[in-house]
């Protein structure tokens, strides 16, 4: 716990000194010195991570934690005070100048006091003989303990690795006969070890290999340690001691036998000893068996006893373990143990390419599809191994929540206070808070006052169906990274929408990464070159000319996930509503969004060419849209599209139409197709269409046409889900033997609900 506090504080101080130096004016030097002292303390915490059973170390760690909390409070309080001071006008700053000077002096004194406490901790460490050098292996020990805990992952609790598991298993069990390296790359804590362990324990993988081994490679690992760790799993020690003869001992044995032959030629003539080169090149096990077999057949008892004693003495010199072997001998031993075996070896958490260069010669390539599975945080490691890395993606929101619940609640949920009163006072008195989540807490029409005082706030979620107004004060939260105001009311009267608009100050939130709204909401106009360069997720934006301008001018250059609303426009004369289709030029404005991967569009629109969409998009969701043949033709040309969802979500239960007329090149990379409440008017497909489709979901759809027979014959199709099928689709599934065709396919999962009546 203390490690996390100090590390977190160090990161904050580093960011402050780098990006917010102006705010620290007057105490910058003191903060820099404090950071240096904390860095030394942090080294001590890391080095003693595996040695905290010592009572003295426990006391010191507790003291460090307390002083780190104090330092964090002092810095945070100063930042809040200084930020509020800078908001004042010139007159206000002049009036409060004396108070500010006094505050700076007080902060400097507090930092000095904290530094003295830290110096006292350092002195205590020296006085009691606790040195960092004593625990040089503690980091490795602690890391290994953590990895051992991670090894035993229950597959029921593995979240979000379905696609990765299938892809990696295919690389391990299929493909070239050569010895190949398969690699999993991703940042720490993302789940590399969990995914590797899931694959390692898979029954299909187990059945493919004669031998499987797992070794954890720490940052401090040496070649010798790694080789010894692998050898422990390859074969038990007695067998290795018995059969693996060190090179110099084998030479000594052969020379000794030749010398004895020269003295006893008559008795040994025509025996194995006369022609030792016959067995010299054989593997260790065969060498020993033939040698001892020869000794058993010697007729002269004295000679037999003499030779047997000589051979046994040589084998005794072989040692009780591997400790007296050098690295080259260990490599030779490992190579011989793996020779002619089809093996899978997992090397978990590889940091250095040099380590691989040293041990790679110990792995034989017998053209039997043996595999090495590597996990690493560093992509260059995988590339150095000539492996195409599988880069672990971040979990989706629902997957992250599922994983959190599994770990934090173990199937249960903690209670929430029944009485939530005086929220304004609560916000006012918690200025140092960084995360606020007020989901479903009965917030009324307005966001509580005092939010603008929470200067350090980084995450704010207010998900209420009563919230209708977003105050300008939110835009003063200069450190805000996530703002989630979904589920607030967008009042509907028939087809009339109440459009909300974000305050003009939204452009001040330069650190904002996630902006999520139910929409439709307009972003305010700006004539300046204002932008949100760090924004990655933008959901709920109403499409208009201002939106087009924002996208075209690259005000959100790093957006990866985008949700857009297109709204009907009323006719001026009749006061009625008609659908005004989105111009292709409007969607063409998305072209500057080079990082865009996921796109969701609500309501009607049209497309004239594939350029209307960013070609890098891999996932598209279309809600309440009539999908004509032209639209589907354009979507089918997107070469990077992996997931397509078409959904009707209208409250009036009207089914939106979809026309699928697919040529041989349509949807070349599409892996998932999902249709919900759609009216399937037309569906034809040429041979070669959707060649990569793996998952098909059809839920509550009306079919006027018959699904094409080519659909059910797609080789990659492994997951079919049909929920509440209409009578037309149900008849096709039963009468055309579609169900039998899918059920007999190896590995294909088929779910139909409710189950079809077999008498139909």
Q: N- to C-terminal Cα distance for the chain?
A: 64
Structure confidence at residue 760 (pLDDT): 57
Provide the 3-class DSSP secondary structure of residue 68. Answer: helix
Per the model's pLDDT, the better-predicted residue between 310 and 609 turns out to be 310
Residues 747-751: what's their mean pLDDT? 82
Pick the closest to residue 76 from 172, 159, 5 (CA basis): 5
Pick the closest to residue 437 from 445, 542, 420, 275 (CA basis): 420
pLDDT band at 591 (very low <50, low <70, confident <90, very high): confident
d(CA 742, CA 749): 8
DSSP state of 753: E
Q: Are the beta carbons of 536 and 481 closer than 8 angstroms?
A: no
In the chain, the percentage of residues whose pLDDT exceeds 70 is 58
pLDDT band at 7 (very low <50, low <70, confident <90, very high): low
Structure confidence at residue 465 (pLDDT): 67
Lowest mean pLDDT among 20-29, 32-41, 570-579, 697-706: 570-579
Torsion angle in degrees (nearest 10) through CA of 128, 131, 134, 135: 110
d(CA 21, CA 82): 12
Rounded to 5°, angle at Cα 316 from 315 and 322: 90
Residues 140-151: what's their mean pLDDT? 45
Per the model's pLDDT, the better-predicted residue between 98 and 458 turns out to be 458
The domain defined by 441-567+592-609 carries CATH number 3.80.10.10: yes
Structure confidence at residue 71 (pLDDT): 72
Residues 215-238: what's their mean pLDDT? 72
What is the Cα 33 distance to its own chain's centre? 36
169-176 contact pairs (CB < 8 A, 24+): 169/199, 169/202, 169/204, 169/205, 171/371, 171/390, 172/199, 172/205, 172/208, 172/344, 172/371, 172/373, 173/204, 173/205, 173/208, 173/369, 175/369, 176/369
d(CA 605, CA 438): 35
Q: Is 116 exposed, middle or buried (0-12, 13-18, 19+ CB in 10 A)?
A: exposed
Q: Name the packing angle between helices 192-200 and 162-173 (round to 10°).
A: 50
| Top-tier CATH class for 2-135 | mainly alpha
Per the model's pLDDT, the better-predicted residue between 493 and 284 turns out to be 284
Token pair belonging to 379: 């992509």
Per the model's pLDDT, the better-predicted residue between 418 and 481 turns out to be 481
Structure confidence at residue 229 (pLDDT): 78
Structure confidence at residue 265 (pLDDT): 61
Mean pLDDT highest for which of 56-70, 304-318, 654-668?
Answer: 654-668
- How many residues in total does the chain contain? 760
Residues 280-287: what's their mean pLDDT? 65
Would residue 718 be called left, alpha or beta, if left means φ above 0 and alpha means ψ between -120 and 50 degrees?
alpha
Per the model's pLDDT, the better-predicted residue between 25 and 655 turns out to be 655
Structure confidence at residue 671 (pLDDT): 95
Torsion sign, CA atoms 730, 732, 733, 734: positive
Tell me the per-residue pLDDT of 323-358, one tens digit each, with 9 for 90 and over. Answer: 667 788 788 878 888 888 899 999 888 888 888 888
Which helix (H) or strand (E) element contains residue 189? Answer: none
Residues 244-268: what's their mean pLDDT? 67
d(CA 120, CA 126): 10
The domain defined by 141-240+324-391 carries CATH number 3.40.50.300: yes
Q: What is the mean pLDDT of the chain?
A: 73
Token pair belonging to 390: 């599988």
Residues 597-610: what's their mean pLDDT? 72
Structure confidence at residue 690 (pLDDT): 95
Structure confidence at residue 699 (pLDDT): 93
């Amino acid at each position: 716990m203390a490690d996390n506090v100090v590390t977190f504080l160090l990161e904050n101080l580093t960011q402050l000194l780098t990006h917010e130096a102006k705010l620290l004016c007057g105490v910058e030097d003191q903060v820099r010195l404090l950071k240096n002292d904390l860095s030394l303390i942090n080294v001590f915490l890391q080095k003693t991570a595996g040695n905290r059973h010592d009572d003295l170390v426990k006391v010191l760690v507790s003291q460090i934690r307390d002083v780190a909390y104090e330092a964090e409070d002092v810095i945070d309080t100063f930042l809040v005070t200084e930020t509020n001071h800078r908001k004042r006008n010139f007159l206000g700053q002049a009036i409060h100048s004396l108070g500010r000077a006094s505050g700076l002096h007080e902060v400097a004194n507090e930092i000095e006091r904290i530094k003295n406490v830290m110096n006292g901790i350092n002195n205590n460490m020296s006085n009691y003989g606790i040195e960092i050098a004593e625990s040089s292996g503690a980091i490795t020990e602690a890391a290994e303990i953590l990895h051992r805990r991670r090894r035993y992952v229950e597959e029921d609790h593995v979240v979000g690795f379905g696609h990765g598991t299938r892809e990696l298993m295919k690389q391990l069990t299929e493909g070239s006969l050569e010895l190949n390296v398969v690699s999993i790359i991703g940042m720490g804590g993302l789940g590399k070890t969990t995914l590797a362990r899931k694959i390692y324990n898979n029954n299909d993988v187990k059945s493919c290999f004669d031998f499987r081994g797992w070794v954890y490679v720490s940052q401090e690992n040496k070649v010798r340690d790694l080789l010894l760790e692998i050898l422990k799993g390859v074969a038990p020690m007695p067998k290795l001691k018995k059969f693996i003869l060190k090179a110099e001992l084998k030479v000594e044995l052969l020379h000794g036998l030749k010398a004895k032959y020269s003295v006893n030629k008559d008795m040994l003539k025509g025996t194995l000893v006369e022609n030792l080169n016959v067995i010299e090149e054989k593997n260790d096990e065969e060498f020993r068996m033939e040698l001892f077999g020869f000794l058993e057949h010697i007729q002269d008892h004295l000679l037999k006893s003499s030779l047997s004693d000589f051979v046994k003495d040589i084998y005794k010199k072989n040692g009780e373990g591997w400790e007296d072997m050098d690295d080259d001998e260990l490599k030779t031993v490992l190579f011989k143990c793996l020779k002619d075996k089809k093996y899978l070896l997992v090397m978990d958490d590889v940091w250095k390419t040099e380590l691989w260069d040293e041990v790679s010669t110990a792995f034989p390539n017998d053209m039997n599809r043996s595999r090495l599975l590597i996990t690493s945080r560093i992509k260059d490691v995988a590339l150095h191994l000539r492996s195409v890395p599988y880069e672990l993606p971040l979990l989706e929101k629902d997957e992250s929540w599922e994983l959190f619940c599994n770990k934090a609640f173990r199937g249960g949920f903690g209670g929430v206070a029944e009485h939530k009163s005086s929220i304004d006072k609560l916000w006012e008195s918690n200025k140092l808070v960084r995360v606020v989540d007020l989901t479903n807490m009965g917030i009324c029409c307005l966001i509580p006052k005092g939010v603008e005082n929470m200067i350090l706030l980084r995450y704010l979620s207010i998900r209420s169906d009563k919230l209708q107004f977003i105050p300008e004060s939110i835009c003063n939260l200069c450190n805000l990274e996530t703002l989630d105001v979904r589920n607030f009311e967008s009042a509907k009267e028939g087809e009339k929408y109440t459009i909300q608009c974000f305050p003009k100050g939204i452009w001040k939130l330069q650190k904002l990464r996630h902006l999520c709204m139910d929409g439709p909401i307009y972003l305010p106009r700006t004539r300046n070159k204002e932008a949100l360069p760090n924004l990655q997720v933008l959901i709920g934006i109403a499409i208009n000319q201002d939106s087009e301008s924002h996208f075209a001018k690259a005000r959100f250059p790093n957006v990866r996930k985008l949700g857009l609303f297109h709204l009907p426009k009323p006719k001026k004369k009749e006061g009625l509503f008609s659908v005004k289709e989105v111009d292709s030029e409007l969607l063409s404005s998305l072209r500057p969004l080079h990082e865009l991967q996921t796109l969701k569009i609500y309501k009607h629109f049209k497309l004239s060419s594939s350029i209307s969409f960013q070609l890098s998009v891999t996932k598209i969701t279309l809600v309440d849209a009539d999908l004509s043949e032209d639209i589907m033709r354009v979507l089918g040309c997107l070469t990077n599209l992996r997931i397509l969802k078409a959904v009707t979500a209208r409250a009036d239960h009207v089914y939106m139409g979809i026309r699928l007329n697919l040529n041989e090149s349509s949807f070349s990379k599409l892996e998932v197709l999902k249709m919900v409440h759609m009216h399937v008017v037309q569906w034809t497909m040429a041979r070669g269409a959707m060649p990569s489709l793996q998952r098909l979901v059809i839920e509550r759809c009306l079919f006027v046409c018959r699904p094409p027979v080519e659909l059910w014959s797609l080789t990659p199709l492994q997951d079919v889900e049909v929920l509440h099928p209409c009578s037309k689709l149900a008849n096709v599934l039963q009468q055309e033997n579609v169900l039998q065709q899918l059920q007999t396919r190896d590995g294909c999962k088929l779910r139909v609900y409710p189950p079809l009546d077999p008498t139909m």
